């Protein structure tokens, strides 16, 4: 966007400028962070007046800043200095409202410009602000490209919020929680219960579970607890609950992943259904328009081609469950061309061809793709790659566990993503969280499991 100003001698009475701005929840978060005004009336999701409803009301200073913006960018434009402002606020706007700001020159004297200003709500023409502002006109001509300004990304996890909203009306998922004997694992299960997403069955050392509950100040009345002091015993009992029809999901608590998976892959009593068990991170990356799935970053160390077929198919199935109708799957390698010296590039090409031939179904699969041309349309164009997936991948299939683990943790710790974890390929969803996961990550993992289970139930009927 090119910004250009108007010198005093070029202005005339009646000159007008207008701008339309959709006020979003992110705008209110940014305004609160920048000003330090955390009035709950203005913070999305909070109830500031006790009526039981979140207001997300636009601050009056934000409305006034819309006037300042149009003065500094359009009329008179860059180089002004504000001398005085006088506003009346007749109405209130909220996140989601489109606001129209208009300024009109009403006075010109000795380099001073007086302008009438008003802000209205577009949908009903309700006036939000009206008043007068005086500015010193710019002294020199100025023309600048404003696109050089840095952008802002709000660290907000809107995709997980949407998944929670989708999961909460579903019937609670009966979930066997294995060894919830520390604050994170028990607290995560109880949080999901409070959100009506799961009905937990706590399987582990009953004494330790009650002790942790006491530390958390939580009452476990009404929650079934099955006393299994040993980790292996608890994992086996949780699997048995699935076979008995008493549990529709399994959730990892405070035990090693290998101890949990050992019970699930048991040939006679496990939960395998023919596919390999594969782990999928569903990541909510701030600023990204869609959830991003990364697989496999936790179970299969160096998967061969047959295992990668299951990794891809499991990821497609889960992506469809969370609302991605035809998932775009980018199979990653170090290069976007097939190189016989790089085995992952060969596997990627074969997976792409297998999807074309219907051996992998439900989504678009393309590879090999390097990370940049998998997620950046500009990078894909630069490399001359044209496909349904290139630059727009919603699922990233990594060559091995080391690459997947590094990618997921980079997104979490550098890009501030939240990561939900689920194991697919079993008879029921397996909720798998890290000990360091936040409460939002644990809650989102339960929500995704509930949503996937509901879709599978619907498909089976």
pLDDT (tens digit, 9 = 90+) per residue, 179-220?
Answer: 999 999 999 999 999 999 999 999 999 999 999 999 999 999
**pLDDT of 154 above 80:** no
pLDDT at 147: 67
- Distance (Å, rounded) from C-alpha 206 to C-alpha 138? 74
> Using one digit for the tens of pLDDT, what is the confidence trace for 58-102?
999 999 999 999 999 999 999 999 999 999 999 999 999 999 999
Q: Write the CATH number of the domain with boundaries 277-425.
A: 3.40.718.10
The CATH fold assigned to 2-148 is Thiol Ester Dehydrase; Chain A (3.10.129)
As a whole number of angstroms, the distance between CA 367 and CA 281 comes to: 20
Of 282, 358, 355, the closest CA to residue 323 belongs to: 282
Structural fold of domain 157-273:
Rossmann fold (3.40.50)
Q: What is the torsional sign of CA 339, 343, 345, 350?
A: positive
Where exactly are the structural domains of the chain? 2-148, 157-273, 277-425
What is the reported pTM? 0.78
User: Of 136, 90, 140, which Cα lies nearest the Cα of 115?
Assistant: 136
Q: Using 50, 70 and 90 to split pLDDT, how confident is the model at 36? A: very high
Distance between CA atoms of residues 308 and 328, nearest Å: 16
């Amino acid at each position: 966007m090119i910004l250009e100003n108007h010198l005093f001698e070029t202005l005339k009475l009646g000159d007008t400028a207008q701008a339309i701005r959709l006020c979003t929840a992110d705008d209110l978060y940014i305004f609160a962070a920048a000003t330090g005004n955390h009035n709950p009336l203005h913070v999305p999701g909070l109830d500031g007046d006790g009526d039981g409803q979140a207001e997300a009301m636009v601050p009056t200073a934000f409305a006034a800043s819309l006037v300042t913006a149009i003065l500094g960018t359009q009329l008179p434009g860059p180089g002004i200095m504000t001398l005085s402002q006088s506003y009346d606020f007749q109405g209130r706007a909220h996140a989601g409202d489109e606001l129209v700001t208009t300024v009109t020159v009403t006075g010109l004297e000795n380099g001073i410009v007086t302008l009438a200003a008003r802000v209205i709500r577009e949908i009903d023409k309700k006036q939000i602000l009206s008043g007068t502002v005086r500015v010193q006109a710019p002294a020199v001509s100025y023309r600048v490209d404003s696109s050089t300004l840095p952008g802002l990304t709000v660290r907000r996890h809107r995709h997980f919020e949407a998944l929670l909203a989708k999961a909460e009306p579903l019937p609670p998922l009966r979930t066997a929680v294995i060894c919830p004997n520390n604050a994170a694992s028990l607290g995560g299960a109880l949080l999901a219960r409070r959100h009506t997403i799961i009905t937990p069955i706590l399987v582990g050392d009953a004494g330790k579970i009650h002790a942790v509950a006491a530390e958390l100040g939580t009452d476990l009345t009404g929650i079934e607890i099955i006393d299994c002091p040993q980790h292996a015993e608890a994992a086996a009992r949780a699997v048995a609950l699935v076979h008995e029809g008493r549990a529709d999901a399994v959730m990892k608590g405070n035990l090693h992943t290998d101890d949990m998976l050992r019970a699930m892959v048991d040939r006679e009593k496990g939960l395998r259904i023919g596919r390999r068990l594969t782990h999928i991170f569903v990541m909510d990356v701030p600023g990204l328009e869609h959830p991003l799935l990364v697989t496999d970053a936790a179970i299969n160390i160096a998967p061969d081609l047959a295992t990668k077929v299951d990794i891809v198919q499991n990821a497609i199935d889960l992506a469809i469950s969370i609302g991605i109708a035809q998932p775009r799957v980018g199979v990653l390698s170090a290069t976007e061309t097939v190189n016989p010296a790089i085995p992952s590039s060969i596997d990627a090409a074969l997976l792409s061809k297998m999807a074309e031939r219907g051996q992998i179904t439900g989504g678009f699969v393309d590879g090999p793709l390097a990370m940049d041309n998998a997620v950046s349309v500009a990078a894909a164009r630069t490399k001359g790659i044209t496909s349904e997936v290139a630059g727009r991948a919603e699922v990233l299939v990594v060559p091995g566990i080391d690459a997947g683990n590094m990618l997921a943790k980079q997104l979490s710790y550098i890009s501030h993503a939240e990561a939900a974890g689920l194991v697919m390929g079993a008879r029921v969803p397996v909720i798998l969280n890290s000990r360091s996961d936040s409460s939002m990550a644990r809650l989102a993992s339960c929500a995704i499991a509930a949503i996937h289970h509901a879709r599978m139930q619907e498909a089976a009927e």
